[in-house]
Copies of this chain bind each other. A is one copy, B any other.
């Protein structure tokens, strides 16, 4: 029976505080290139792996509060996340050799998966870059879609602010908001990213939060009339600055709070009384609740991509060995656009 060596990215031990590259290590294991007889599992070769902020939650000690959303990784075992993969062998009736899929796989060259509805999706449209299924066409795309259209309940002409706006989700939220006729401002952490927001993604304005001594004043400058919708990706000080700039009946869709994930003691948010007199709704959401709408989402978004009306920027790290630095870099904002790892040629 044919075997191959499969490199893997292993979590050494549970992480507290900021994760380091040395919290992960590369090992190799032998894999058989066939699924066992009578098994309904699927052997895949991983082509692209996605680096996503929520993976930080999986690196810490098991936490009952977050287990339902993000089960902890096992020290000594490969980390896992969303990826794009090609079927090598299959005992599952829905998948054949050569099929492409996206969904949860290990950070390794080959994975054996048990296809699970809403965790693994067969790829039917290959006229767009396959890597997009780690981002625009996958989990982050669904996050932007569900978060913006369902949680933000946007209306034409509203004022929209997006933090971490050049990231996988933010760049899409901004473009969706522009398509709806909103005024959109984004924040990001470098001049390069701010330029992307203004010149590539079509944001009306953008600022580098690292160069703003007073975030509330920066927002006041960008939104003299106030903010109707805040798509929250960062939390902490930015949320406090937003709260004092929200308009009446504003909405805050809480997608993530990346500024808080690595803190042992999260920052305090002080301006919550503003939500009373401004009738603000703050709502957390998790994209997994919306995965049953993925094919509807593709019907919506693929035409825009084909017509060039939605653009997408990826930051591609080459080779599984670059996975640890790519993932850790995400928490330092090193990525420009959606961070992913190209593991093997298509």
Q: Which residues of A contact B (CB under 8 A)?
A: 57, 65-66, 68-70, 235, 239, 244, 248, 254-257, 260-261, 265-286, 289
Contact = CB atoms under 8 A, between A and B. Distances in A.
B277 A286 contact: yes
Contact of A268 (B57, B257, B267, B286): B267
Contacts of A244: 65
Total copies of this chain within the assembly: 2
A283 B286 contact: no
A280 B277 contact: no
Nearest to A268: B268
A255 B273 CA distance: 10
B279 A280 contact: no
Nearest to A252: B282
Nearest to A66: B277
Contacts of A57: 277
Nearest to A261: B273
Nearest to A251: B283
Contacts of A280: 283-284
Contacts of A254: 272, 275-276
Given A257-B272, A268-B267, A268-B270, A285 B279 contact: yes
20 contacts: A57-B277, A65-B244, A65-B274, A65-B277, A65-B278, A235-B272, A265-B270, A266-B271, A266-B273, A267-B270, A268-B269, A274-B284, A276-B285, A276-B286, A277-B284, A279-B284, A279-B285, A281-B281, A281-B282, A281-B283
Nearest to A63: B277
Contacts of A278: 65, 284
Contacts of A282: 275, 281-283
A286 B274 CA distance: 11
A255 B269 CA distance: 18
Contact of A266 (B265, B270, B279): B270
B281 A257 contact: no
Contact of A248 (B68, B260, B261, B270): B68
B286 A273 contact: no
Contact of A239 (B65, B66, B272, B286): B272
Most chain B CB atoms below 10 A, which of A260, A261, A266: A266
Contacts of A267: 268, 270
A231 to B, nearest CB: 13
A279 to B, nearest CB: 5
